[in-house]
Structure 1
Amino acid sequence: MYDDHSELPRASARPYTRSRLLPPYRGVIAVDAKDFTGLPAIEHEVVSRAVPELLRLSLDRAGLAALWEDRKFSATTGDGYVIGCDPSLLPFVIHPWLYTLQEVLTEYNVHSLGAAPIRLRVSLHVGPLPDTGDEFGGNGTARNDTHRLLDSRPAKAVLAGSRSITQVVAVLSERCYQDAVASGYTGRHPDHFIEVPATVDGKRFAQQAWIYVPQPSGPLDDRHILGEAADEGAGPDVHPQARPDGVRDVVRTTNRAPRGNINTGTVHGGQSVANHHVAGDQVGGNKAGKVRGYQGDRVHGDKNQGRS
């Protein structure tokens, strides 16, 4: 039994047993520095201190100084930072802040000679989070998902595949995108955003999300970068095709090989082919493995005998 002044949480009703008020909805902004763990240890503290200052400076320059001053919760993550904000500001966070952050990081990386360059992944989400006002505030599923989005394969791959002029890659949750972008409240057309399957290696996390790059410099439509799973739901023979009007059609293709083989994946070892009743050579056995003798016709005598 603990005393009345203990900081331990008091017992409360278990989940799903009675209804309670939802915590207030908060926008969540999280950032991570690219390749932080690969930096020499002596530079870790420098980057950790620089990231929140760069966020503060860019928010101020984008006209969002109040967001920084009135942040609902904030914390360093070592290689990044997380902020809780009024969700009504998310359209302005998406634009112009992300573009302004790109400009501020460009200036920093150009003029901070001797310092490690800082390129950031940014994730944006919204959801109910406890607002206790102390260091434990802002914990909940919405915040966890924000960090998962930050670590998702598409977010990391797009920044890794971009050239040095790209300082910022942002990933928006489906909820954030629908509320702030698709609704028309953000000063950026939906065509600036690319839908991706957000998964995290080693984690049970899979959500649809949206990639936005304020200053792109790489192949943003490369499914090997964004995640091939985006097309898996349609099956192996269905491929999206863009029309000039921006609408994506579905083109179905059927592969046929009468009396032969079709390879649509990786083949290990040899392939066995036996064609019957086909004009031409008859091949039996393994053409891809070790071959002894002739692969072509065996001819005895004069090949031109009997020809005019």
Structure 2
Amino acid sequence: MNANRNEVAELPPYRALVVVDVKNFSGEKGRDHDWITRQIPVILEHALVRCGLGELRRQVCFEGTTGDGYFLGFEPKHLPFLLNPFLSELQAELEYQNAVNPVSDRQKLRMRVSLTVGPMTDSGQNGISDGSGDTRIEAHRMIDAKPVRDMLARSNDTTCVAAIISRRVYEDAVVSGYAVDAPDLYVPVPVEVKTYRGTAYLRVPKPSGDLLSRGFTPPGPPEADSWDRGEHAGPAESGGPSRAVKQRFTKSTVGIGNVQGNVGTAINGDNVTMHTGSGDQFNAPLGDGVNLLGANRGRIRHQVNKGGDEGDGR
């Protein structure tokens, strides 16, 4: 049924969509790009044959190349099989191809995979516009997302497949039990690419490297506490630049070499020895706000000792 774009229209049929992308395609020699592009659908077909789904390759609703990748549209009833066993068998097929038919000595073929399900146009003729719709956009945004890129960047060549699936795929095929995959094999991650925002799920059939030691979502940089934000830093004196030297230690030694400028700030905790060189020193327990003033004045003129050692520590 054709309709004007301003009129109500029928919802396109639901399709399951697989999109794959080769890692670092542009890093290969230009002369190899043609071979890799032609090899991708062959690898996908072999992976389907490996898991007993060779017939499924002939039931594709629409397909096409993206240059460094490929997409396949299926009826949604096949979605569970595209998770299990397809992802694991794609890993096995890439391992085999890398061993017997490597693209180069410099790197192995490794792929990112995204899976979505939803309404997409399908004329039944594998037309140029088949597979269009928001679901298709979601698949391509997910495969470009940083979380799934990190899976291959933080692993070694043992890991050939890193997959990311939409929330709908996770709920319809994994949580429901149809894929017979444990839900805790999938790690939820936020996805933000261009205008797309959503939650997706990572699946890596064969993790390696940093993925084993730190997991799929490594801890980020530590949050700045009040000391890092400078809430206890002393005010700068006028007449020149200042520099704050901030440390937070317990029962250790803090050494400060040269502090350039009119004012420096040093913060140390209880039972800490501070070696400051020449200049004014004020020692106090953490929390009182400690100022190290007047670098290069030749001697320590004033000292308040509440938690540090007696003397200038030299």
TM-score (norm 2): 0.71
2:4 corresponds to 1:12:
yes
| CA drift at 1:160 | 1.1
- Equivalent pair of 2:244/2:266 in contact (CA under 8 Å): no
- Equivalent pair of 1:154/1:227 in contact (CA under 8 Å): no
The residue identity in structure 1 corresponding to 2:192 is: T
- Equivalent pair of 2:120/2:133 in contact (CA under 8 Å): yes
* Residues in 1 aligned to 2:93 and 2:148: alpha-carbon distance in whole angstroms: 20
**Partner secondary structure for residue 270 of structure 1:** strand
- Equivalent pair of 1:67/1:86 in contact (CA under 8 Å): no
**Partner secondary structure for residue 84 of structure 2:** helix
* Residues in 2 aligned to 1:114 and 1:223: alpha-carbon distance in whole angstroms: 30
- 1:173 corresponds to: 166
| CA drift at 1:187 | 2.0
**Where do residues 14-163 of structure 1 align in structure 2 (5 Å cutoff)?**
14=6, 18-113=7-102, 115=104, 117-132=108-123, 133=125, 134-163=127-156
**Where do residues 155-304 of structure 1 align in structure 2 (5 Å cutoff)?**
155-200=148-193, 203-220=194-211, 226=217, 261-263=226-228, 270=244, 281=283, 285=291, 291-293=295-297
- Equivalent pair of 1:270/1:286 in contact (CA under 8 Å): no
* Residues in 1 aligned to 2:122 and 2:299: alpha-carbon distance in whole angstroms: 76
For structure 1, the 5+ residue unaligned runs are 1-9, 230-235, 238-254, 256-260
For structure 2, the 5+ residue unaligned runs are 234-241, 246-263, 272-281, 304-309
The residue identity in structure 1 corresponding to 2:122 is: D
- Equivalent pair of 1:198/1:207 in contact (CA under 8 Å): yes
RMSD: 3.5
Change in 2 beyond 3 A, CA 1:196/1:270:
same
The count of residues paired between Structure 1 and Structure 2 equals 255
- Kindly provide the CA deviation profile for residues 30-77 of structure 1, in whole angstroms up to 9, marking residues without a partner as x: 000000011110010010010010001111221222321111110100
- 2:257 corresponds to: none
- Kindly provide the CA deviation profile for residues 238-281 of structure 1, in whole angstroms up to 9, marking residues without a partner as x: xxxxxxxxxxxxxxxxx7xxxxx52279x995267599xx9983
219-228 or 96-105: bigger deviation: 219-228
Change in 2 beyond 3 A, CA 1:136/1:119:
same
* Residues in 1 aligned to 2:103 and 2:130: alpha-carbon distance in whole angstroms: 37
* Residues in 2 aligned to 1:264 and 1:106: alpha-carbon distance in whole angstroms: 49
Change in 2 beyond 3 A, CA 1:139/1:273:
same
Greater RCO structure (CA 8 Å; 6+ sep) = 1
| CA drift at 1:184 | 1.2
| CA drift at 1:206 | 2.1
**Partner secondary structure for residue 124 of structure 1:** strand
- Equivalent pair of 2:148/2:163 in contact (CA under 8 Å): yes
Change in 2 beyond 3 A, CA 1:111/1:73:
same
* Residues in 2 aligned to 1:173 and 1:293: alpha-carbon distance in whole angstroms: 65
- Kindly provide the CA deviation profile for residues 123-174 of structure 1, in whole angstroms up to 9, marking residues without a partner as x: 0000100111222211111011101100000110111111111100000011
| CA drift at 1:219 | 3.6
| CA drift at 1:113 | 4.5
The residue identity in structure 2 corresponding to 1:262 is: W
* Residues in 2 aligned to 1:227 and 1:12: alpha-carbon distance in whole angstroms: 49
Q: Flag the structure with larger Rg.
A: 2
| CA drift at 1:112 | 1.2
- Equivalent pair of 2:243/2:265 in contact (CA under 8 Å): no
Identity of aligned residues (%): 33
The residue identity in structure 2 corresponding to 1:72 is: C
